[in-house]
Structure 1
């Protein structure tokens, strides 16, 4: 079953939850009860994607190490990992390997697909354009440039999404613990800066109105 894209208010609550600085916190994707269910097969393939990601551990800074496996009809048709910053992301390599077989397939990605233009295009859009039917995400990305928006893009396009849980999710988190904690800190700092800017704007407006009275 598919979940509808999250309304903006729900996404805002989800982002606020993620920006907490508790060291034991894990990135959380706020999902409806209808999000696709994780299966035993999903756990097997996400671990395969995790093994691919480990090949680049320590080589991708400031990016995270990510692996992707594309499966169709019970067979791996494409796989890849992000080798270093500036190079294509894991999903791109996997989609290239899958070719036309990506259509209707399931993509297993250790980290939520990016949804912004950096040195590479957004992977969420690449998955949509390849017409994959389903995406299984190892763990959500706390990067404020992504932060549930990658998931929302996939679901808005009608793609089924399942979010990994249990030890597999923990393993995906631990692979990029430094990145995850850094992104949570940056998100919190950005939120504080935005709040301070808004407070200053409101104070200036109030002072201006008072001066005109």
Structure 2
């Protein structure tokens, strides 16, 4: 039988932590072989079946480069030999905004957050984040606290925050083994999360100390 035709169109597009590979199908072909060569020499092989026209290669570092190539597979399983010109370069995105959006989406869709929407969640490193914090209408008596525990690597980690009144003065207590603050643009997401926590705590305390607020009420009662 005649040699299978070439893939007429192949394109790579940078994605956060990955590369999209797009192609057009040659006539009379229902199976393609995709090969991906990583920077460290790893070669990934995959069979693609009609009518798929895109494949995401994920798990890459920002700016990581790779080589991809595709060839048609005939009905009898035969394929033409690879050619030097088949390789096409791809590179993962280095766009900070895209990466932050991707991480934000992953966090919002994580299992930990699904069960705690509007509350706290703890990632696998033991860091705790606030999605939304509220103090009810005067329901605070002497203190308000939130605690979370997470198991990681066979060890249990605890993190939490408490608002209370001590000797007539409002007090905020943070329980954590480590409080990380980003120092450069590469940690932009962590910076945003730290700022979000600060804003929520500041706003919560300000509201609680206003007339009618929980802390204001406690002070008026002499608690």
Q: Same fold (TM over 0.5)?
A: no
**Higher strand content, 1 or 2:** 2
Q: Give me the TM-score of the superposition, normalised by structure 1.
A: 0.27
Greater Rg by CA: 2
Q: Give me the TM-score of the superposition, normalised by structure 2.
A: 0.26
Considering Cα pairs closer than 8 Å and 6+ residues apart, tell me whether 1 or 2 has the greater RCO. 1
